């Protein structure tokens, strides 16, 4: 994502000298009004629909509203209050654990599958690969509903399949130990195929002669993967890493639909904590502070990505 | 994406989804000797592929079965768990007139309007940022970049507060609006537009075209792939939306597909046949669109980074 930003307005600098239009003035001059007319609808939309709510969240996070005294400025009070709140700290912990498991897991599996499905010797690789890709069309909320039936402790598909291999039935979403893992499964079912698409594209872009050279040198498949595939996959991989981290930070539908943050707070991810703080608890000030925290975390992650890609260029 | 030197994957991605044309790497002798490994690979590939598609097959089969039979073939698991020899369309027909059927139609309406209006908004903005030049362009561009770096879901709650103040709750306008301001689509279209030669603009201007004429007659016809990609992005944003419609479209008339489906899940007695038929439709619509536009799919999402 770094390039286009670095080039912002870049074309203006590279434009050749003063070309003349038919009125004898440089042809681009006087176009500011026209350009603004083209830009205005989107600028209004983006300002009202993205920047303004960001600003109101920031404003709201610094104020406390009560029926008695109205709105009053409390500075960082909401934030301090938030960080001393046990539910919030639990949500941060759960989100951290979730992030540290779901992202490496999804990325490792999608790398493995991308490598697997680009092997020449596999019969029907395109067909099997297409089967992994099919679930990416599933909206997250639909995945949640479908898997809720699969995960039913009594009479669900998952336990029926476990019975085939002689394993006892599990609680899945109803078990404090398994609920978060169950949510990771239903998200990865969509995510892995999605990330794999980018990695397959990246692998297909690696020049074939590098593999031939590695083969002539007698490199093992593991060695070839570490010395050829992985280094040359850096760009798509760093993109996938950030995109996955950001989208997994915003997971909401499965928690809201399936567990309501439970059992025992074990699936209380940040997005759901914000939602329940705002609507179930009606604590807008602190919910807004939490929104700000989440947006800042996201922006930091994306900024790191900018850095990584830019230093590479 | 012609001007996109810094983006991750882009070329040769069309083959990722299509079962044709494996990239022809020449077989070496060393490779040919490894037949058993080829077999092992194929088995591994098939097992993983089938594992991923199993839930979809189960959902599809149960959508073609009477509701009472959903859990009938599970103990023990057999071929009948995943296949039915007597498929029925009843569940799909039953969607008509239910909240879920209504929700799916609402989702279609919202997505279609978002794509149509969103493309006009985003492409005009991209034109203003690429074909034309003016002082302060960098600042305007920065505003657009910042706006798409803020994840929409995170600011949905403060925005919902504003929309309530503006009396937009439970209106289609309220459901559609957030999908229109898509900074990412603008960004993507702008990059595409920057590759259009200036000479074409000059020639068009000399021939007496207005700026709108340059945009409409020159830029848009040249940008079909980018418009497809941007349209797909606008569509998926709305089709997959859950947080926003949950906050905004709370009455029965304005419910969207995913929310209606999720509401079914919590009910005391669930009509599983209906639920699965609805799920199949909600998955199939984007799947068909993604498959037919797959060439543009990776391009658009890889420039987005944020889903």
Domain ranges of chain B: 25-88, 93-304
Contact criterion met (CB < 8 Å) for A239 and B302:
yes
User: What DSSP string describes A128-179?
Assistant: HHHHHHGGGGS-HHHHHHHHHHHT-TTT-HHHHHHHHTTPPP--GGGSTTTH
Give the model's pLDDT for residue B4.
Answer: 35
pLDDT at A311: 64
| pLDDT surpasses 60 at B18 | no
Residue A272 has pLDDT above 90, yes or no: yes
Interface touch B305/A305, C-beta < 8 Å: yes
In chain A, residues with a C-beta closer than 8 Å to the C-beta of B75 are 155, 160, 163
> Among partner residues B140, B152, B194, which is closest to A39 by beta-carbon distance?
B140
pLDDT at A45 over 70: yes
A-chain CB neighbours of B122 within 8 Å are 42
- Find the helix or strand (DSSP H, E) in which B185 lies: helix B183-193
User: What integer pLDDT is reported at residue B302 of this predicted model?
Assistant: 55
How much is the pLDDT for B299?
60
Local confidence band at A313 (pLDDT 50, 70, 90 cut-offs):
low
User: Chain A interface, mutation test: which of B22, B136, B158, most A Cβ atoms within 10 Å?
Assistant: B158
pLDDT, average across residues B42-46: 91
B14: distance to nearest CA of chain A, Å? 9
Top mean pLDDT of A41-45, A64-68, B296-300 is at A41-45
Residue with structure tokens 């070839």? A224
User: What is the domain count for chain A?
Assistant: 1
CA angle A21, A25, A29 (to 5 degrees): 95
Interface contact flag, A8 B305, Cβ < 8 Å: no
CA A113 to chain centre: 20
| CATH top class, domain B93-304 | mainly alpha
Of the partner residues B6, B20, B81, the one whose CB lies closest to the CB of residue A126? B20
Interchain proximity B142–A250, CB inside 8 Å: no
User: What residues make up the domain containing A175?
Assistant: 85-312
How many A-B residue pairs are in contact by the CB < 8 A criterion? 383
Interface test with chain A among B34, B45, B297, by most A beta carbons within 10 Å:
B45
A47/B161 CB distance under 8 A: no
Residue A190 lies in a domain: yes
pLDDT value for B307? 35
Q: Which tens digit of pLDDT belongs to each residue from B90-137?
A: 889 988 988 899 999 999 999 999 999 999 999 999 999 998 888 888
In a domain, A19, yes or no: no
Q: What is the mean pLDDT of residues A201-209?
A: 88
Query: Minimal Cα–Cα distance from A140 to chain B, Å?
Result: 7
Write the pLDDT tens digit of every residue in B200-212.
Answer: 988 998 998 999 9
Cβ A121–B41 below 8 Å, yes or no? yes
Q: Which of B49, B181, B276 sits opposite A128 (nearest CB)?
A: B49
Q: Give domain status of residue A32, yes or no.
A: no
Cβ neighbours for A130, distance < 8 A, ≥ 6 positions apart = B17, B18, B19, B49
Q: Residue B21's pLDDT is what?
A: 38
CB contact (8 A) between residue A53 and residue B155:
yes
A-chain residues near B245 (CB < 8 A): none
CA-to-CA separations, A169 to A91, A166, B81, B166, B185, in angstroms, rounded: 29, 9, 18, 51, 46
Q: What is the ipTM of this complex?
A: 0.82
User: Which residues of chain B does A91 touch, with a Cβ-Cβ cutoff of 8 Å?
Assistant: none
Check which CATH number belongs to the domain holding A251 and give it.
Answer: 1.10.3720.10
Band the pLDDT of B300: cuts 50, 70, 90: low
Q: Which residues of B touch A62 (CB under 8 A)?
A: none
Q: Kindly report the nearest CA distance between residue B41 and chain A, in angstroms.
A: 6
Task: Give the model's pLDDT for residue A303.
Answer: 84
Quote the pLDDT of residue A310. 67
Report whether pLDDT(B26) > 70: no
Name which of B155, B202, B240, B281 to mutate to probe chain A: the one with the most chain A Cβ atoms within 10 A of its Cβ: B155
Q: Report, as an integer, the average pLDDT of B27-36.
A: 53
Those residues whose C-beta lies under 8 Å from the C-beta of residue A270, and which sit 6 or more positions away, are: A91, A92, A95, A249, A290, A293, A294
Q: How far is CA B302 from CA A256, A281, B167, in A?
A: 28, 38, 36
The HSE-up count of residue A279 (CA atoms within 13 Å, CB side) is 16
pLDDT class of B303 with cuts at 50, 70, 90? low
Q: How confident is the model at residue B306 (pLDDT cuts 50, 70, 90)?
A: very low
Q: What is the pTM of this model?
A: 0.83
Chain A residues closer than 8 Å to B305 by CB: 1, 239, 242-243, 246, 302, 305
**How large a percentage of chain A has pLDDT more than 90?**
43
Between A68 and B105, where is the model more confident? B105
pLDDT in tens, A160-192: 888 888 898 888 998 999 999 999 999 999 999
Mutation test of the interface with chain B: which of A112, A145, A298, A304, choosing the one with the most B Cβ atoms within 10 A? A145
Q: How far apart are CA B79 and CA B61, in angstroms?
A: 11
Nearest 5°: the CA angle A208, A214, A216 is: 105
Q: Closest partner residue to A142 among B19, B187, B282, by Cβ?
A: B282
Residue B293 has a pLDDT of 84
* CB of A303 closer than 8 Å to CB of A84: no
Decide if A295 and B37 are in contact by the 8 Å CB cutoff: no
The pLDDT tens digits of the residues spanning A108-137 come to: 999 999 999 988 778 888 899 999 999 999
CB contact under 8 A, A50 and B122: no
Res B292 pLDDT > 90: no
Per-residue model confidence (pLDDT) at position B195: 87
**Measured on CA atoms in the order A68, A71, A76, A82, is the torsion positive or negative?**
positive
Q: What's the mean pLDDT in A65-94?
A: 85
């Amino acid at each position: 994502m770094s390039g286009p930003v670095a080039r912002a307005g870049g074309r203006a600098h590279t434009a050749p000298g003063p070309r003349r239009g038919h009125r004898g003035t440089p042809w681009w001059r006087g176009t500011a009004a026209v350009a603004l007319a083209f830009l205005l609808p989107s600028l209004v939309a983006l300002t009202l629909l993205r920047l303004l709510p960001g600003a109101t969240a920031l404003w709201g996070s610094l104020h406390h509203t009560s029926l008695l005294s109205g709105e009053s400025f409390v500075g960082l009070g909401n934030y301090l209050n938030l960080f001393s709140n046990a539910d919030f700290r639990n949500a941060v912990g759960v989100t951290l654990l979730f992030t540290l498991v779901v992202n490496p897991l999804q990325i490792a599996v999608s790398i493995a599958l991308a490598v697997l499905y680009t092997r020449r010797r596999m019969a029907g690789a395109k067909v099997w690969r297409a089967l992994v890709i099919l679930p990416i069309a599933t909206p997250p909320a639909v995945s949640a509903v479908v898997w809720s039936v699969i995960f039913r402790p009594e009479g669900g598909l998952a336990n029926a399949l476990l019975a085939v291999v002689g394993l006892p039935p599990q609680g899945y979403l109803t078990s404090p130990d398994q609920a978060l893992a169950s949510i990771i499964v239903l998200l990865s079912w969509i995510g892995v195929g999605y990330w794999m698409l980018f990695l397959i594209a990246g692998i297909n872009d690696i020049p074939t002669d590098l593999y031939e050279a590695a083969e002539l040198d007698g490199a093992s498949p593991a060695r070839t993967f570490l010395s050829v595939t992985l280094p040359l996959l850096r760009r798509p991989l760093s993109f996938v890493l950030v995109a996955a981290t950001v989208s997994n930070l915003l997971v909401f539908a499965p928690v809201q639909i399936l567990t309501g943050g439970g059992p025992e707070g074990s699936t209380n991810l940040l997005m759901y904590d914000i939602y329940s703080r705002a609507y179930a608890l009606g604590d807008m000030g602190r919910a807004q502070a939490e929104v700000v925290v989440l947006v800042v975390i996201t922006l930091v992650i994306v900024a790191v990505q900018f850095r990584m890609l830019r230093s590479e260029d | 994406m012609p001007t996109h030197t810094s983006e991750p994957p882009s070329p040769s991605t069309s083959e990722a989804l299509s079962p044709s044309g494996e990239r022809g790497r020449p077989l070496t002798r060393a490779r040919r000797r490894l037949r058993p490994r080829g077999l092992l690979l194929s088995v591994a590939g098939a097992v993983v592929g089938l594992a991923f598609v199993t839930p979809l097959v189960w959902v599809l089969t149960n959508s073609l079965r009477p509701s009472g039979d959903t859990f009938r073939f599970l103990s023990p698991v057999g071929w009948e768990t995943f296949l039915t020899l007597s498929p029925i369309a009843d569940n799909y027909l039953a969607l008509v007139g239910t909240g879920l059927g209504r929700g799916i139609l609402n989702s279609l309406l919202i997505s279609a309007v978002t794509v149509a209006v969103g493309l006009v908004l985003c492409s005009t903005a991209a034109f203003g940022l690429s074909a034309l030049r003016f002082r302060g362009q960098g600042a305007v561009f920065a505003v657009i970049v910042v706006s798409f770096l803020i994840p929409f879901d995170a600011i949905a709650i403060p925005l919902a507060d504003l929309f309530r103040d503006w009396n937009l709750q439970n209106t289609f306008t309220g459901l559609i609006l957030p999908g229109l301001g898509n900074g990412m689509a603008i960004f993507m279209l702008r990059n595409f537009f920057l590759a259009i030669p200036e000479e074409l603009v000059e020639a068009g201007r000399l021939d007496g075209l207005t700026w709108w004429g340059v945009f409409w007659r020159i830029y848009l016809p040249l940008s079909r792939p980018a418009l497809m990609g941007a349209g797909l992005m606008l569509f998926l944003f709305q089709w997959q939306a859950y947080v926003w419609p949950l906050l905004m479209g709370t009455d029965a008339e304005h419910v969207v597909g995913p929310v209606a489906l999720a509401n079914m899940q919590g009910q005391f007695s669930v009509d599983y046949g209906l639920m699965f038929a609805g799920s199949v439709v909600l998955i199939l619509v984007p799947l068909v669109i993604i498959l037919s536009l797959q060439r543009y799919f990776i391009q658009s999402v890889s420039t987005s980074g944020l889903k």
